[in-house]
Amino acid sequence: MIDIRALRENPEPARVSQRARGGDVELVDRILEADALRRTSLQEFESLRASQKEISKSVGKASKEERPAILAKAKELAEQVKVLEARANEADAEADRLARLLPNLVLDGVPVGGEEDFVVLRHEGPAIRDFAAEGFEPADHLAIGEGLDAIDTKRGAKVSGARFYYLKGIGARLELALMTMALDQALAAGFVPMMTPTLVTPQVMGGTGFLNEHSEEIYYLPADDLYLTGTSEVALAGYHSDEILDLSAGPKRYLGWSTCYRREAGSAGKDTRGIIRVHQFNKAEMFSYCRPEEAAEEHERFLAWEEEMLRKVELPYRVIDTAAGDLGTSAARKFDCEAWLPTQSRYMEVTSTSNCTTFQARRLGVRERREDGMFPVATLNGTLATTRWLVAILENHQLADGSLRVPEALRPYLGGLEVLEPVK
């Protein structure tokens, strides 16, 4: 949630942010109007309640003759107070509802526009392979995975429907190797590993900002009033909800390892082959609570840790600065790393790191006590490894005979295997 006091004092940054996102600029004025009504309604209620209390106190001091009139007046005021209290509560709820519709304010320097308006910051990693020069046409990740008997989408669809799959044999081992390597890197960087819940309450899901434009992507269990998470960011953001943190020694960093669920609503026909866009996958997610003035620097660290992992699996990739209209509700800035996908001649997102400033912490009540008062903290998140990485690894490291060269850093996690051979 945005800082309503700051919005009241200077609404122009919010208007600029909404324009950059391609959002509803008039929402800012509706929030301010609702906030003004809330404050006026509360003031009227409290003023009349104070009068009611004064009248009630005078009953005991009144003469026998005066008492009936005073009691009648007190009763009349009590009814009016109830009406004003209901009106104040209604105004408060409406002001809160509108404020929660406003996305986080984008930071200076974020590209303006939508999904296609990102800015490429740099290209990294090894050179893109020239398969023609090597004398063979690259196979896509599913063909390679099936040849290794590592991926089974046909039985996944038989058991659960479209966009489900089995990772089996070396496929399961490869994912565990990748996730464990991410865990080891996070431990070395001081992260606390967490196996997180994958079901959360509406308060936590809404508090992270996922029940606005992303609500159709989320699986909901109405019988339990719980949501399945699409990232452990949600559970990690809720971990310290309604708590006061001590960040004097630096950020609190957690590495969430969880299965994630996404409905992929509205993505019909997109990446339906293989395991690029699926309903269930595993992910290692970094999360940090830090002081707001340290958030930009922490964001750069998150991006550096993601790139460290990408270098370990030896993938060609690019780093992009995501445009404002593609940020999502809670992010003020987001950097993506996209790995090269040879069979589609395009880059595919494999990591994402977002600086959510104080937006989530305000909603979830996560604060820090300092010498000059209590303040909301900043939250950040970033992908360190996920199932989708297997797509890029399989395609970029394939050999002409259908085998797979294992990136050197992954070999210790696979018992020293250097090449994965197709199953005859």
The reply to whether 138 and 94 lie within a common domain is no
Residue 110 within any structural domain of the chain = no
**Which range marks the domain in which residue 42 is found?**
4-101
The reply to whether 97 and 144 lie within a common domain is no
- Measured on CA atoms in the order 144, 150, 151, 152, is the torsion positive or negative? positive
The reply to whether 285 and 204 lie within a common domain is yes
Residue ranges of the binding site for L-serine: 231-233, 262, 285, 381, 383
The reply to whether 175 and 277 lie within a common domain is yes
Question: How does DSSP assign 283-341, residue by residue?
Answer: EEEEEEEE-GGGHHHHHHHHHHHHHHHHHHTT--EEEEE--GGGS-SS-SEEEEEEEEE
Residue 384 within any structural domain of the chain = yes
Per-residue DSSP letter, 219:
-
Q: Active-site residue numbers?
A: 262, 277, 349, 352, 388
The reply to whether 200 and 141 lie within a common domain is yes
Pick the closest to residue 233 from 70, 379, 88 (CA basis): 379
Q: Is 311 exposed, middle or buried (0-12, 13-18, 19+ CB in 10 A)?
A: middle
Residue 107 within any structural domain of the chain = no
Residue 285 within any structural domain of the chain = yes
End-of-domain residue from the set 101, 132, 149: 101
The reply to whether 171 and 48 lie within a common domain is no
| 336-364: pLDDT as tens digits | 999 999 999 999 999 999 999 999 999 99
The reply to whether 212 and 339 lie within a common domain is yes
Low-confidence stretches of the chain (pLDDT beneath 70): 1, 60, 213-214, 266-270
CATH of the domain at 43: 1.10.287.40
Residue 106 within any structural domain of the chain = no
pLDDT of residue 48: 85
End-of-domain residue from the set 37, 69, 101: 101
pLDDT of residue 388: 97
Residue 114 within any structural domain of the chain = no
> Do residues 355 and 106 touch, judged by C-beta distance below 8 A?
no
The reply to whether 320 and 402 lie within a common domain is yes
Residue 26 within any structural domain of the chain = yes
pLDDT of residue 239: 98
Place of tokens 């269930």: 280
Can you list the pairs that 400-403 forms with residues at least 24 positions away whose Cβ atoms lie under 8 Å? 400/134, 400/135, 400/136, 402/139, 402/144, 402/147, 402/148, 403/148
CATH of the domain at 232: 3.30.930.10
Q: What is the number of structural domains in the chain?
A: 2
Q: How many CB atoms lie within 10 A of CB 172?
A: 13
The reply to whether 293 and 223 lie within a common domain is yes
The reply to whether 144 and 56 lie within a common domain is no
The reply to whether 53 and 127 lie within a common domain is no
pLDDT of residue 374: 93
Residue 109 within any structural domain of the chain = no
End-of-domain residue from the set 101, 132, 150: 101
The reply to whether 19 and 68 lie within a common domain is yes
pLDDT of residue 294: 97
> Do residues 68 and 100 touch, judged by C-beta distance below 8 A?
no
